[in-house]
Structure 1
Amino acid sequence: MTSRLLFVYTITFLFSMLLLLVFVEHAVTGQMEHEVDVVMDWQLIYFDSTPDNMLPEAIQDRLENSHMHANYYGLFTSDGRHIAGNVMAFPPQLTVDRDGVTLARTLSVTGRRPVPMVRAMAERRKNGDILLVSRDVTNIFHIRKAIIRAFSMGGTFCLAAGIALGLAMSVRQMRRVRAIRRVTLRISQGDLNQRLPTGGRDEIDMLSHLVNHMLDEVERLIGEMKGACDSIAHDLRTPLAHVIVLLGSMAHRAGGLKDQPMLDLIARARSDTDRLLQRFRAILRISEIGALKRREGFADVEMETLVREVGELYEPLAESRSVQFVMHVEPIPGIHGDRNLLFEALSNLVDNAIKFTPEGGTVKVELRKTPAGPQVTVADTGPGIPAAEHDLVLQRFYRSKSTEHHAGSGIGLSIVSAVLRVHDFTMRLANADPGVRVIIDCWSRSLG
């Protein structure tokens, strides 16, 4: 963006300088030519008052007394023959209507080469002769060139200084923009404690203050809402546990009475209450993960060992459900993270994959090395997730329509997302044809 603005500024400046040079050249040249034309017009008026028989002598007298300015005169017959003066031939491009014309190296003068630059004017006298007066304007055009050269050099210097100053200012502004970008990326990843840098005392600084004020309010409101939700979940967890115990006692007594319909109702109530309690526990767990500070508890983690441990833990479960469990682990360098949280996230993914894979299906866990860092993939051959629901399943309590018949709270992927946000990792869902493939990029997407 900065380079484009600088390019536009340069083109605009050059175009403006070109217009200025054209204007100055036209104005200076026009003014100087007008002043020369006035002088030559007065000379023609003077010669008009001279009788025809005395005109050659008057012209010669003028030539002998012309010292400060180089003036050239020529008197010609109507058919162009030279009569008097030091101009030997009448220029063909010159008219006889007393209009000034600039001639470049075309005026033939006695005893010298063609004059570099003259301003000439001619008239036809009453007897039919043609009188030409001209004035050397070479110095005038030298002055014009000097002015244009001065403007060009000055404009070039101003352009260079402007570009240098623009680059210096843009570098400073781009540093601020990069700093703001880093902070906003952190904020977009869920770290609402971050604030935009301030101190520039300009429009960007004013915008940063407004955004920071907005973030303060957002953090306060989210904190209040989160605190209320956590309080509700925490306060209801104990009563729900008591309800489960009471339902168990009721089932024991109803069993003694051999009331099967009552036992079925109690079993359904216990199942629903237990599922509700699991949801409250999951909500509190997500809150605990989200409340962790960015790098608190981080250390070097051997992902190869971690993935193998998760596989060893869930391989017996896959076998019990007649699901083939496949692992492919490449040796990779360690990463910086929270081992317990990463173990919990991978466990949730593998558990979901096994749960939703039918008998005879396959669950594959893969750890491979990429140029950017380690990548973990968990794939299954279950019912899969439609592409339109890939983002929705990461929300709390959302369950895909293709897996609604399976037991669960729909919060496992939310826990995985919370863990990955703490690590600045990313998770992507893709179709496995059949089934779904979950891909975790174990490196930070933050831009420096």
Structure 2
Amino acid sequence: MNGRPNSWHSTTSRLILIYGALFVVWGAVLVGVIQWETTRYLNTVIDQMLQQRMHYIASTDPARLATTVDNAAAIDPHGIMSVGLFDKDHQPVAGNIDHLPTSLLRDGQVHLLRHGLPRPDRDAERVRARGLATTLPNGDILVIAKDISTIDGIGAIIRRALLWGLSLTIIPGLLGGFLLRRGPQKRIRELQEATDPIRQGDLSKRLPVSRRGDELDQLASIVNTMLGEIERLMNEVKGVCDNIAHDLRTPLTRLRARLYRAQQQLDGEPEAALVESCVVDIDEVLTRFRALLRVSELEDRHRVACFDEVDVGQVLRQVHEFYAPVAEDRGQTFDVEIQPLAPVRADAHLLFEALANLVGNAIKFTPTGGKVMLRASMDKRGPRVDVVDSGPGIPAGERDAVTRRFYRGDNSRTTGGSGLGLSIVSAIVRLHGYGLDIADASSSGARLTLYCYTPGPDDKVGTCLSRTVPEVTPMTV
């Protein structure tokens, strides 16, 4: 997980976007309320004006009503305030309304004209209008209407003001938010860089703590305390294991020497076979102790400074030469296929040891007549080495566990070994920052791939860095 986080997925960025969205929504709601209240107020004023005009004209002497209607229409030639008088047959008598609005109720109340009202100054273009109609005592119908398109214009002005206001507010706000989030993002990057060696196994590292005393510093302090306790416990457990292995190795070596001398003295005696089996068992215990101490050395000692350019192909040829006689004695086919490879920065002895352990395990678990293939090729990012065998393979559920100390899978219960071979490989891989992948072979068996480069976040391989490495001699466990 070496990739950097997307800055737009950060909490600061999300808060900026959320606050910006809330501001926009709140502004839209506010403008909507203002527009609605303004429209309601203006409609109320227009309704009162229409009611007053209707009361004034309707109370005119019936003999002078038509003249009054024409005079009212002449005062407003643009038809903003329209007046019309119609007879019982809905024919126009006076005013500037040519047709009786059929949808307008004649109840003396103001209504919105659903089909609008034609404006004489706009080539009879229909505009939104409010009006009222009433039936006079003589059966005539008096209609008064007013153009309310100006209210729509006021609403448009309010909306434009909102748009400009939001633009002049949000753009500087987003710019300010972008600048403000750079500080936390920088802190996060520093923390992530500090955690890289910790994730790679260096528990002596700590997260940086600034003088701000903010939430990130408080969290870093808590994590540092946890790391200190974990480091102490790990060192105690590891020290106990190492001390046991180291302290028992000397008396066991002495015991082996005494048994060996006894075996020589009992040459030809029936007890010689029993003593020989005891020597073999002690050798197995000593081998496990050496492997355990070897893993501890790889995890504790620094050797990165000794890295140099290494020819992976040359190391592979040495491994093949070392194990070819072993495979031949077991009746196995051991082939090697090496393509041109770029050099890598590594410790040649450790790289040989890791590859030797992989090949040794493949030979150990491949039956007689089986095949082991050692193949090297170039990826886009560097060399990769595949060790493929025709053995029983490694079940998917055990692939993460086989690199742990002393783990023995179900397929390895009947074979010799200590369960530390892949632990050594894993420690060397972590030290170099390489990748190790365990999968099924194309036909049968297992395929173990060593990526001689640091895998990226999209590479589906296990990788971590270690801080320790010792002088080594090839040893397969």
1:335-346 to structure 2, matched below 5 A, reads 335-346=344-355
Indicate whether 1:397 and 2:409 are aligned.
no
C-alpha separation in 1, matches of 2:449 and 2:359: 12
Paired residue for 1:240?
252
Higher alpha-carbon deviation: 284-293 or 11-20 = 11-20
Instruction: Give SS of 1:107's match.
Output: strand
Partner of 2:379: 370
Q: CA deviation at 1:420?
A: 0.8
Structure 2 counterpart of 1:31: 41
Compute the displacement of 1:113 (Å): 4.3
Q: Which moved more, 1:306-315 or 1:64-73?
A: 64-73
1:318 alignment partner in structure 2: 327
Offset at residue 376 of structure 1 (A):
0.9
Identify the residue that residue 150 of structure 1 maps to in structure 2. Answer: 161
Structure 1 counterpart of 2:48, one-letter code = V
The question of 1:136 aligning with 2:147 is answered yes
CA contact (8 A) 2:28 2:162 kept: no
| Residue type at the aligned position of 1:89 | H
Distance change >3 Å, CA 112–CA 375, structure 1 → 2: closer
For the aligned residue pairs, the C-alpha RMSD in angstroms reads 3.9
Q: Aligned residue pairs: how many? A: 444
Match of 1:223 in 2: 235
C-alpha displacement at 1:12, in angstroms?
8.1
Instruction: Find the residue that maps to 1:394 and give its secondary structure.
Output: coil
Q: Indicate the SS of the match to 1:392.
A: coil
Matching residue's letter, 1:129 = D
* Other-structure match for 2:388: 379
What corresponds to 2:92 in structure 1? 82
**Cα deviation, residue 440, structure 1:** 1.4
Q: TM-score, normalised by structure 1?
A: 0.82
Q: Describe how 1:214-363 pairs up with structure 2 within 5 A.
A: 214-252=226-264, 255=266, 260-261=270-271, 263-293=272-302, 295-363=304-372
Where do 5+ consecutive residues of structure 1 fail to align?
Answer: none
1:152 CA displacement: 3.7
The residue type paired with residue 244 of structure 2 is I
Q: How far apart are residue 95 of structure 1 and its match?
A: 2.1
CA apart distance, 1:25: 4.6
What is the identity, as a one-letter code, of the residue corresponding to 1:339? A
Residue of structure 2 in register with 1:192 after alignment: 203
The Cα of 1:121 is off from its aligned counterpart by: 1.8
- Tell me the residue number matched to 2:131: 120
In 2, Cα distance between the equivalents of 1:446 and 1:371?
Answer: 12
1:91 matched to 2:110? The reply is: no
SS at match of 2:306: coil
User: Which amino acid letter does the alignment assign opposite residue 38 of structure 1?
Assistant: Q
Q: 1:323 to 1:56 in 2, by over 3 A?
A: closer
Q: CA deviation at 1:419?
A: 0.7
Segment drifting more, 423-432 vs 122-131 = 423-432
Structure 1 vs Structure 2: percent identity of aligned residues?
35
SS at match of 1:80: coil
Q: Name 1:415's counterpart in structure 2.
A: 424
**Alpha-carbon distance, 1:170 to partner:** 7.1
Judging changes above 3 Å, is the alpha-carbon distance between structure 1 residues 292 and 165 closer, same or farther for their aligned structure 2 residues? farther
Check 1:227–1:334 CA distance in 2 against 1; reply closer, same or farther (3 A cut): same
What is the CA–CA distance in structure 1 between the aligned matches of 2:406 and 2:35, rounded to whole Å? 77
Q: Residues 349-370 of structure 1, C-alpha deviation per residue, up to 9 Å, x if partnerless?
A: 2223334444444332111122
Bigger shift: 56-65 or 425-434?
A: 56-65
C-alpha deviation, 1:344, in angstroms: 0.9
- Please give the TM-score of this superposition, normalised by the length of structure 2: 0.78
Residues 301 and 338 of structure 1 are in contact (CA less than 8 Å); yes or no, is this contact kept in structure 2? Answer: yes
Using CA pairs under 8 Å that are at least 6 residues apart, name the structure with larger relative contact order, 1 or 2. 2
- Distance between the aligned counterparts of 2:116 and 2:389, measured in 1? 92
Letter in 2 for 1:144: G
Structure 1: distance between partners of 2:331 and 2:71:
127
Q: Deviations over 1:200-238 (max 9, x none)?
A: 977666555544433332222212222222222222222
What's the offset of the Cα at 1:287? 1.0
Contact kept in structure 1, 2:31 and 2:158, CA below 8 Å: no
Flag the 1:192–1:446 CA change in 2: closer, same or farther, 3 A: farther
Instruction: State which drifts further: 337-346 or 242-251.
Output: 242-251
Report the CA distance between 1:49 and its aligned residue: 3.5
Does 1:50 pair with 2:60? yes
Which string of whole-angstrom CA distances, capped at 9 and with x for unpartnered residues, describes residues 262-295 of structure 1?
x344333332222222212111111111124483
Residues 210 and 446 from structure 1, CA distance in 2 versus in 1: closer, same or farther, beyond 3 angstroms? farther
Distance 1:121 1:395, change over 3 A: same
Structure 2 unaligned runs (5+)?
1-5, 459-477
55-64 or 424-433, which deviates more: 55-64
Q: Which moved more, 1:309-318 or 1:205-214?
A: 205-214
CA shift, 1:307, in A, is: 1.0
